[in-house]
Amino acid sequence: MSSTPTSTSPMSSTPNARTDAGAHAPRNRPGPHSGGRVQSGSTSAGSTSAGSTSPRASRTANKPAPSLSWSRARAVAARAGRGGPLIAVRLPLDRALGHVLAEPLGALTDLPSFDTSAMDGWAVAGPGPWAFEAGAGILAGHAPATALPDGAAVRIATGARVPPDTTAVIRSEHAYADEAKGLLHAERSVATGQDIRPRGQECRSGEQLVPAGTVVTPAVLGLAAAAGYDALPAVPRPRVDILVLGDELLAVGLPHDGLIRDALGPMLGPWLRALGAEVAGPRRLGDDAGALRDALAASDADLIVTTGGTASGPVDHVHPVLAELGAELLVDGVAVRPGHPMLLARLPASGPSGPHTAGRPEGQRDATAEQRKESPDGPYLVGLPGNPLAAVSGLVTLVEPLLAGLAGRPAQDAYRALVHAEVHGHPHDTRIVPVVHRAGRAGGRDHVAPLRYNGPAMLRGIAAADGLAVVEPGGVRSGTEVEILDLPWAPATPWTEGCFT
């Protein structure tokens, strides 16, 4: 995407996440943790997190600290995304859809910019009946030359500029034109100003139409065009690379001989695009520490998402490679099921013209260079567990709030809904459970129902879901409220759950 940078526009005064989010340094991780890279068949068993070790001061820790709480981890990711200035580029209207406004959108003119007719009919001046000339009329796009004298009428089209001194517009269906006498009669009472859209009715020049941070929808494009814009100041979409790890993964065909299909490669790209990112096709690296290190060093993305390898088994290379590159761990394990071995890290920068900016379109490369001047750090990395639903948990816990900050989007509003079933909880960790919304019956309240297929390696439940319930440790009883996260493509509307509940 070629775009022209206009300015470095800080849209948040939030301090850098490393100073207020509890940064964590890489360290040795004692003991194996299952589930960090498996895409099917096993349940993640554990993870640990660094404590308050200062960034890059020590690469080891004698005593692992507990994982961050789910809400704390999301807050860290959100602050990290908002930690740097946002870059504004000007995008033509036909390329701005889905981007976020970097600046408030102010009206460049009054809307409408002149008094216009709201209906097809007759412009009249003074009391009736009104004299008119056969064949005369005012069309949209043609300015009337003279004022309308008292007692006169002229045909007028919707959107046409009304003549000066017009009292009202009479709709065609509410008027009788006597062609023989050249007189117009109103069949209903006429009020001054009726069916005239006065200048500035919608807005005055300079008035704010929508604030910064608004996602550019088709309606925003129409409003911008009406207000006189040819291009919009927008935040470039965050660029995301996906690295799929695991020798056991197949790209095509049926599972066989201990090999399984890669479920995350096909799922992550569309999911991340729905969150407003520009996503490259997934790269499958297998269990190769050298390939992972080279891919991280060469990436030009704002965010790198890896799948699998986040625990500390014999082929889980994410932590050692991050330590070798000098990355800063912001989140190392989250107290959430499924998905607790997830992590969030910040890679060191390779310089404004180094490998983290090479390969971008020119406008984005320039904008990224400016951003690199503001920060000594490189792209973020989110390490997702390999189990599919565990990876979904990582998406909503770390990726969604991080991308919202990077793109200047508003964070998802949390809301609560009744749950019509007992939902078992973990003794200590938050649970993420796929749910479906249902309309209340016989005056009852709308509610959500949990879906059965919610194991770490299962996607059947999330495929039928339109939301995720955040279940506090210990679980909830039927009839209580739980926090709900909407999925980015599924509005909270009732579904028919079929065989999925």
What sign does the dihedral 410-416-420-422 (CA atoms) show? positive
pLDDT, one tens digit per residue, over 455-469 is: 888 888 888 898 999
Would you mind telling me the total number of residues written for the chain in this entry?
A: 501
Q: Is 279 helix (H, G, I), strand (E, B) or coil?
A: strand
DSSP-derived pairing of the beta strands 68-69 and 334-337: parallel
Q: What is the 3-state secondary structure (H, E, C) of 373-439?
A: HHCCEEEEEEEECCCHHHHHHHHHHHHHHHHHHHHCCCCCCCEEEEECCCECCCCCCEEEEEEEEEC
Q: Express each pLDDT in 296-340 by its tens digit.
A: 998 989 999 999 888 877 888 899 999 999 999 999 999 999 999
Burial of 92 (0-12, 13-18, 19+ CB in 10 A): exposed
Average pLDDT, the chain: 80
E strands along 1-146, which residues? 4-9, 68-69, 86-92, 100-101, 105-106, 116-117, 121-124, 130-131, 137-138
pLDDT of residue 9: 38
Supply 382's token pair. Answer: 């989110």
Cβ count within 10 A of residue 173: 10
Task: Kindly indicate the confidence band of residue 66, based on its pLDDT and cuts at 50, 70 and 90.
Answer: low
Give me the pLDDT at residue 404, please: 93
**Closest of 167, 166, 159 to residue 142, by C-alpha:** 159
DSSP state of 280: P
CA torsion angle 240 244 250 252 (round to 10): 0
Is the backbone of residue 164 left (phi > 0), alpha (psi -120 to 50) or beta?
A: beta
The kind and range of the H/E element at 261 are strand 260-261
The pTM for the full model equals 0.72
Residue position matching structure tokens 């995008």: 91
